[in-house]
């Protein structure tokens, strides 16, 4: 597992980086929706911690890590302050933010899967919770902002699929007793690279076969 590769302090630092980048995306959406600073903080916290909170509640890891580690809770507030004062500059480095977001996606889908399995869930359920850890916060963010969640929209580059692939690699490695530092890293990197390729080449999931709906497409978010 990942704790075999990294010391606890390094793992904690990686978690904080992922939380910070996810929180940036939540705060930026709040700015675009013209929310006040409290709304920005709420979206930042939900985006960064929502997936992990859902996972911990499902597996019974209570109180959830989001409430036992001050760093997890305070990092989204730091991201909120940054966006509040410097959002034009942050918008200009959106591509860099997206790269770090892809890295967080890869990390969290793997850590979510391994933690779920460690708490006694089966492989399929662990994959589902690994996916939820990676994308759950973004879904909650979009719902609170009164938007159709990005991973449900056909006009968005693949997001959930890379996380699902990463989580599935972890499950297969567990199944064949091959989960170690190298294979865990491979799963993280695979999800990360798939997300980057999806952004670069605009890969999208197919819609219904022989779709004949004449309904107009929804506006871009």
| Domain region containing 181 | 2-201
Is residue 188 one of the residues assigned to a domain? yes
Is residue 92 one of the residues assigned to a domain? yes
Return per-residue pLDDT of the chain as tens, 221 residues.
544 555 677 778 878 888 998 999 899 999 989 999 999 999 999 999 999 999 999 999 999 988 999 999 999 999 999 999 998 888 888 888 888 889 889 999 999 999 999 999 999 999 999 999 999 999 999 999 999 998 888 889 999 999 999 999 999 999 999 998 899 989 999 999 999 999 999 999 888 887 765 455 544 43
Is residue 209 one of the residues assigned to a domain? no
Could you give the CA distance from residue 112 to residue 101 in angstroms, rounded to a whole number? 16
Is residue 213 one of the residues assigned to a domain? no
Q: What does the H/E/C string look like for 32-76? A: HCCCCHHHHHHHHHHHHHHHHHHHHHHHCCCCCHHHHCHHHHHHH
Is residue 54 one of the residues assigned to a domain? yes
Is residue 128 one of the residues assigned to a domain? yes
Is residue 212 one of the residues assigned to a domain? no
Number of domains composing the chain: 1
Is residue 215 one of the residues assigned to a domain? no
């Amino acid at each position: 597992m990942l704790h075999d590769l990294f010391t606890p302090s390094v793992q904690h630092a990686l978690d904080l980086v992922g939380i910070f980048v996810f929180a940036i995306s939540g705060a930026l959406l709040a700015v675009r929706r013209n929310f006040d600073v409290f709304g920005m903080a709420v979206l930042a916290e939900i985006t960064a911690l929502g997936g992990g909170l859902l996972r911990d509640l499902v597996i019974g890891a209570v109180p959830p890590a989001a409430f036992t580690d001050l760093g997890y809770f305070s990092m989204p507030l730091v991201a909120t302050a940054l966006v509040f004062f410097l959002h034009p500059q942050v918008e200009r480095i959106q591509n860099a933010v997206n790269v770090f977001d892809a890295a967080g996606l890869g990390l969290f889908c793997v850590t979510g899967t391994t933690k779920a399995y460690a708490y006694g869930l089966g492989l399929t359920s662990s994959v589902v919770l690994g996916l939820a850890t990676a994308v759950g916060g973004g879904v909650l963010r979009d719902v609170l902002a009164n938007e159709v969640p990005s991973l449900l929209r056909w006009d968005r580059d693949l997001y959930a699929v890379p996380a699902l692939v990463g989580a599935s690699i972890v499950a297969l490695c567990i199944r064949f007793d091959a989960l170690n530092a190298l294979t865990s890293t491979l799963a993280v990197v695979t999800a990360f690279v798939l997300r980057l390729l999806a952004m670069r080449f605009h890969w999208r999931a197919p819609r219904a076969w022989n779709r004949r709906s004449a309904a107009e497409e929804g506006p871009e978010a």
